[in-house]
Structure 1
Amino acid sequence: MGRSVPAVVRALDILELFGSSEELSIPDIHSRLGFPRTSVHELVGTLVERSYLAPVPGQPHRFRLGVGVFHLGAAYAERLDLAREGEAAAADIAAVCDETVHVAVLDGRSVVYVAKADSTHPVRMVSAVGRRLPAHCTAVGLMLLASLEAGRVDELFPPGEKLPALTPNSLRSPKQLRERLARIRERGHAEEYCESNDAVACVAAPVSDRDGSTVAAVSISVPTMRWSPERAAELARLVGKGAEALSGRLGHRGGPG
């Protein structure tokens, strides 16, 4: 990369100020950034000309973000691809922990895996992008179900119904599921031990879009021979950071999903 251009850096600093302030005047910008007042005038004038800033109606000396910023944001959003961004995020996480990483979305009562990065260990989880599993049996599915409103969970899993099981450890009733989801909401991440596979444990965290809605979950899957309470805590922190990074790739700016 070449040397940064000071005038461009200053213009971007000004635009980023408006991310936390709805309206600002020239004196406001000058006092917050410390740029020379003349430079602020020139930079704001240029940004107004290019529609990245706009005068506040009735207050011509105060400014707010202009339609040019919206057009850029909309163009970026149109090019976002959960699968593509998920592959990159999964690869980043797997590079740190060297375990299998999945990104999945909820489809009714099932999860669908949309991205994956493999471990290099001889013993690893065998799975595939596009595979579907019962949501209540997987860490990613439990995480996604925990993001739903209680009424929606009741619709998907009516009280009294017996849930299909993949292993002896799988949840069997909607009551057990609701209790599990409540604990997941408190913790902010989900774990499962041999509930979808007799020899695999998983930990998962939620992924948010630019509106703050949970749109996916990321999980790290580990053979039980490499699982321990200490390892689980370590991977929970890692998957949380990875999910946050993927949320950022999708336009989320922080805060609860």
Structure 2
Amino acid sequence: MNRELLAGHRPGAFPGTFSVEEVYVSEIQAMPSKSSEVRGNATPAPAVTRAAAVLDVLAESASGRLTLSDLARELGIPKSSTSNLLQALEDAELITRLGSDYALGVKLVELGAAYLSRRDEVREFYRFCEEAPVLKGETVRIAMLDGENVIYLARYEGHPAVRLTSNIGDKMPVSLSAVGKALIARLHDHDLEQLFPDDAELPTLTPKSLRTGRELRAEVTGIRSQGYAFEDEESTLGVVSLGVAVPTHGSHGPSLGVSVTALKATFSDGQREAMVQELVGLSKMLGNPMG
């Protein structure tokens, strides 16, 4: 079993693709989350905002590394200002220099690991998976809703037939993940329509991926009635996933969910029932850790 709190982020690609035995599924480029105009705007704390923007740009880069000129152009600020920012970030080990390029630094890994290790939900997530008769042999993840995406917070690996190639901290569109579908099913219909109007074009990874907001919202009714979401080869051919939302009390705290993956070829109704039962148990424990 591999306990993984934080792995190196592979920027610019949709995570959540898998390798099934010897087959690796290629990833597609993610759309940038911010424009250069936004990054360059003045704020009450421009140095901090611009430093954070540098990290955003590097995280979104397909190669994971950019030159001073590239960063200055993306940020929309002079090279001299960019150089000063990069020097300060390098001194803090938040970025590292690779020849003439810059990349994210090891300090970010340490900070991310520290954040996750202090979350009670993550610790309890691992404990439950280790003791669950079915889940202890599978790949299980806990994720947090972030707008139209989910962010994976932790991953438990028993001895699964499906190996994840995604990294903790990566984002995945909700329409391509069972846990994402389970989480948006809790939203009010009005909010769902705002996020995913009928003609909204969704990102796709396989021929079975949902393509429009109408298709995604059509699944919500079934998810609400059965209490879990099913992702059927929509992110990776040959792989299915089940997802359950963690119950919340009031409006405070993040929207969390849990999911498990399986091979489509060997997936049975009995396996589905057992996995859902344990996922529901896990979600209830995370939603009410005091019992």
Distance in 2 (alpha carbons) for counterparts of 1:106 and 1:81: 17
Is residue 236 from structure 1 mapped to residue 247 from structure 2 by the alignment? no
Matching residue of 2:180: 141
CA contact (8 A) 1:87 1:117 kept: yes
Match of residue 204 from structure 2: 165
Residues 94 and 106 of structure 1: CA distance in aligned 2, closer, same or farther (over 3 Å): farther
Q: Deviations over 1:48-73 (max 9, x none)?
A: xxxxxxxxxxxxxxxxxxxxxxxxxx
Shift of 1:97: 4.6
Unpaired stretches in structure 1, ≥5 consecutive residues: 1-78
Equivalent position of 2:229 in the other structure:
190
Question: Are the counterparts in 1 of residues 179 and 257 from structure 2 also a CA contact under 8 Å?
Answer: yes
> Which residue of 1 is the match for residue 191 of structure 2?
152
SS of the aligned residue for 2:175 comes to: helix
Q: How many aligned positions are there?
A: 173
Cα shift at 1:185: 0.4
Aligned-partner Cα distance in 2 for 1:157–1:203: 21
Asked if the contact 2:176/2:210 (under 8 Å) is kept, the reply is yes
Residue 228 of structure 2 corresponds to residue 181 of structure 1: no
Corresponding residue to 1:215 among 244, 251, 255: 255
Counterpart Cα distance in 1 of 2:161 and 2:268: 19
Cα gap change, 1:93 to 1:172, in 2 (>3 Å):
farther
Determine which structure has greater relative contact order: mean sequence separation of CA pairs < 8 Å that are 6+ residues apart, divided by chain length.
2
- CA–CA distance in structure 1, aligned partners of residues 134 and 229 of structure 2: 21
- Please identify the structure whose Cα radius of gyration is greater: 1
> Does structure 1 conserve the Cα–Cα contact (< 8 Å) formed by 2:179 and 2:244?
yes
Which runs of structure 2 are paired with 1:88-127 in the superposition (5 Å)? 88-93=127-132, 96-121=135-160, 123-127=162-166
State whether structure 2 residue 126 is matched by structure 1 residue 87. Answer: yes
Seen in structure 2, the aligned counterparts of structure 1 residues 224 and 97 have a Cα distance that, compared at 3 Å, is: farther
3-state SS of paired residue (1:129):
coil
- Residue 96 of structure 1 deviates from its aligned partner by 4.3
| CA deviation vs aligned residue, 1:206-227 (integer Å, no higher than 9, x gap) | 1123438782111111122331
- What is the CA distance between 1:119 and its match in structure 2? 2.6
Quick check: 1:227 aligned with 2:267?
A: yes
- Inter-CA distance 243–212: structure 2 relative to 1 (3 Å threshold): farther
Contact 1:192 1:203 in 2 (8 A): yes
Task: Answer yes or no: is the 8 Å Cα contact 1:105–1:112 preserved in 2.
Answer: yes
RMSD: 2.3
Give the Cα–Cα distance (whole angstroms) in 1 for the partners of residues 146 and 129 of structure 2: 20
Q: CA deviation at 1:122?
A: 5.4
**Bigger fraction of residues in helix:** 1
The aligned counterpart of 2:27 is none
Unaligned runs of 5+ in 2: 1-117
Cα displacement (A) at 1:143: 0.2
**Identity in percent:** 29
